[in-house]
Structure 1
Amino acid sequence: MIWAPVQVSIAGELFQPGRVLINEPSDVPMITSISGDSRQITGNYPVRRYLTVAIRAAGGILPTANVTQVKLRRGHQEQTIDLSGVFTGTPIEDIPLIAGDQIIVPRSDRFQPELMRPSQITPPGIKVFVSNLTTPATSNATSAVGNQQEGITFPYGARFSQAVISANCAGGISTTNADRKAILVRVDALTGKTTVVERKVEELLRNSYSNEDNPPLLPRDGVACYDSNITNTRDIFRSISDLLNPLNPLLLLLNFLR
């Protein structure tokens, strides 16, 4: 027996709250790809209609979610469910859902970095935009950043420092590159407010001891790198030299017009 898809509402501390459709027909082939012996399931088992599946379909929980007080409303009844076992390994009550159910994930009183890892109710990975267009890598193509329209993928729980390394902002000649800076740009999905965190690359890599020093990455964050003072000064003099060069095309054009 194949259970039909159902639509449920899910709100609260999630990346994509709203209405979600679970147990879609496209999910069925995922089961049939398993070997014949391990597919022998008897009885009615709605494997894709459980509470954890709905939470995952809504993008997964935020680090500010209170996973011990998840609410399930069905008609006039309400039930509180503790999903902390997803992270600790203790048993949880993963309830099969029916059409019209409403799920509410309340807010915790603190940011919980321990929830920032792949699980049944968190995203397996996130998309982040990175940019490194100057020394030591001259382009995204040559630096293998491959920054596409939807960004590049990092495991959920990755840190600012890991994005900096991935963008090839670190390493190279220490005398000229160790003073590089990196910024983390984050836009709040609810308020639209943009926040910017700036760190010196070497300090970020070597002297980070807290979430404030080295923030965890969130979906659609942006990371950009800036060159060291030595590199900036060198390029300023290089630009002046190019302008004063008698073979400079601009000077040749002015001389020709004269």
Structure 2
Amino acid sequence: MTGSLNLPLAGRVFVRGLTVEQATATLASVYAQYLRRPTVTISLLQRRPIQIGVAGEVRSPGTYTVPINAETSQLPRVTQMLETAGGITQIADLRQVQIRRPQPTGGEQVINVNLWELLQTGNLAFDATLRDGDTIFVPETSVNLAEAPLLNNTSFSGDVNLPVNVSIVGEIYRPGTYTVTGSPARATEAGLPGQNQSLSSVGGPPTVTRAIQVAGGIKPLANIRQVQVKRLTRSAQEQVFEVDLWALLQDGDARQDAVLQSGDTIVIPAVSALDPATASQLGSASFAPDEIQVNVVGEVIQPGVVQLSPNTPLNQAILAAGGFDNRRARKGNVQLIRLNVDGTVSRQEIDVDFTEGLSDANNPALRDSDVIIVSPTGWSTFSDTVSDVVQPLENIFSIFTLPFRFLRLF
């Protein structure tokens, strides 16, 4: 396929890339050298399909065979082929799209196309027409959260609402690999995957917060200001960008809730400490669990595991366990046992004050798996010790008095 015609007198005439009208004019010009007022008529019986290659930051790169309408002879445009290839990825550089076009004499011509201008102006001149044998190459660029919403809503971005497989690690209750959908999910108990909700707002793309919900929610010391998303490009290079979920909570900046792609890894770092106000806001976030489990043991009415809202103050946990056993509990202070992020265990003596609000000193916010120990008073401990000593003696005395009890029966 050389794109030429071998004709009497005229010999080889190149018509590749010409429309029927342009080819007719070309042949008429050639035959005018041999004939007076030549009449040339060209009829296209059947337009053969053309092959277009698509590479780079598209979802399904490869070679595509495109049928051409013989009546209109309309060739495909760049955006049509990007849509055929599944759409662009979120790190596609639309400002530097290339068309690589082979030349009859060898080599190739590189044509730069700025599709970003097409999106901004709607000027079809930026959506170039393709030819048989062309290859579209979409280079990569860094993620731009400000431009991402527009990229995700173009006709050639593909379906961003499809489920994706991502990994999530760090300050999350259930790190691992998950399939994330666009359906809203709320983590119920800390560490349990969130369940899809039957809401009118079901739908939308899989985002960072939805991945966190599916993975059981954030831990209390999660640093949501510097959440990292690691993403592989088509050239196997890793890109890392940060999202600030605190800006999402405080300012409603929805751009921070980045849309995910299959293969992404989300990393949630930790902070050393949180002030009570920040902790309270995090506990009410949609990507925090609804409940945590705290174990209250010792001298309370109903010792055991209690279900609480995240960042519930310590005194409320004691009340949830029925309150102090007034006869036996040492009410002045309790012990708080906590497993830290680094794997160590801390023990803190807390002076309980039921009238105090959230306070790191006397009424700290609780975390999942905390243990509260309510010790007995000194008198209760003494009574228990005496009971332990006397009980065996009572058992022995009961053995000696058994015959006399038997004789009384007669």
TM-score normalised by length of structure 2:
0.46
For the pair 1:129 / 2:295, whether they are aligned, the reply is yes
Q: 2:225 aligns with which of 63, 68, 75?
A: 68
- 2:261 aligns with 98
| Number of the residue aligned with 2:378 | 229
1:58 aligns with 2:215: yes
| Alpha-carbon distance in 1 for matches of 2:378, 2:339 | 28
> Distance between the aligned counterparts of 1:181 and 1:68, measured in 2?
35
Is the contact between residue 130 and residue 223 of structure 1 (CA under 8 Å) also seen in structure 2?
yes
The runs of 5 or more residues in structure 1 that have no matched partner are: 138-142
2:329/2:376 contact within 8 Å kept: yes
What's the counterpart of residue 157 of structure 1? 311
Give deviations 1:77-136, integer Å, cap 9, x for gaps: 33222211343243232222121012222344643441341212222211122224x5x6
Which digits, 9 at most, give the CA deviation of each residue in 1:129-185, with x for residues without a partner?
2224x5x63xxxxx3x5x4xxx33110011222212222343746xx6564643222
One-letter code aligned to 1:12: G
Give the aligned partner of residue 186 of structure 1.
Answer: 338
Is 1:252 the counterpart of 2:392 in the alignment?
A: no
What SS does the aligned partner of 1:121 have?
A: coil
1:23 aligns to 2:184 (yes or no): no
Mapped contact 1:46–1:96 kept (Cα < 8 A): no
SS of 1:55's equivalent in the other structure is helix
* Residue aligning to 1:166: 320
Question: d(CA) in 1 for partners of 2:374 and 2:329?
Answer: 11
Three-state SS of the structure 1 residue aligned to 2:258 is: coil
**What TM-score results when the alignment is normalised by the length of structure 1?**
0.69
CA gap of 1:209–1:46, structure 2 versus 1, over 3 A, is: closer
Shift of residue 65, structure 1, vs aligned partner: 3.1
Q: How far, CA to CA, are the matches of 2:184 and 2:223 in structure 1?
A: 31
- Cα distance in structure 1, aligned partners of 2:317 and 2:262: 41
The whole-number CA distance in structure 1 between the counterparts of 2:369 and 2:389 is 38
What value does the CA root-mean-square deviation take over the aligned residues?
3.7
2:84 matched residue in structure 1: none
- More off after superposition, 88-97 vs 248-257: 248-257
CA distance in 2, matches of 1:254, 1:166: 47
State whether residues 53 and 120 of structure 1, in contact with CA within 8 Å, keep that contact through their aligned partners in structure 2: no
Specify the structure having the higher radius of gyration (Cα).
Answer: 2
Shift of 1:15: 3.1
Is the aligned partner of 1:118 residue 2:279? no
| Counterpart AA for 1:155 | S
Question: Given the superposition, is the C-alpha separation of residues 30 and 218 from structure 1 closer, same or farther in structure 2, using an over 3 Å criterion?
Answer: closer
SS at match of 2:354: helix
Query: Could you tell me which of 44, 64, 83 is aligned with 2:245?
Result: 83
- Give, in angstroms, the shift of residue 220 of structure 1: 1.5
Report the count of equivalent residues.
Answer: 227
Contact persistence 2:358–2:365 (CA under 8 A): no
CA deviation vs aligned residue, 1:217-252 (integer Å, no higher than 9, x gap):
1112222322222333344455556566xxx23223
Identify unmatched segments of 5+ residues in structure 2. 1-158, 186-194, 233-237, 404-410
Secondary structure at the counterpart of residue 14 of structure 1: coil
**% same residue:** 22
SS at match of 1:199: strand
Amino acid at match of 2:398: L
Counterparts of 1:109 and 1:97, CA distance in 2: 28
Shift of the alpha carbon at 1:255?
A: 6.9
SS at match of 1:19: strand
Question: Which one has more relative contact order, counting CA pairs under 8 Å at least 6 apart?
Answer: 1
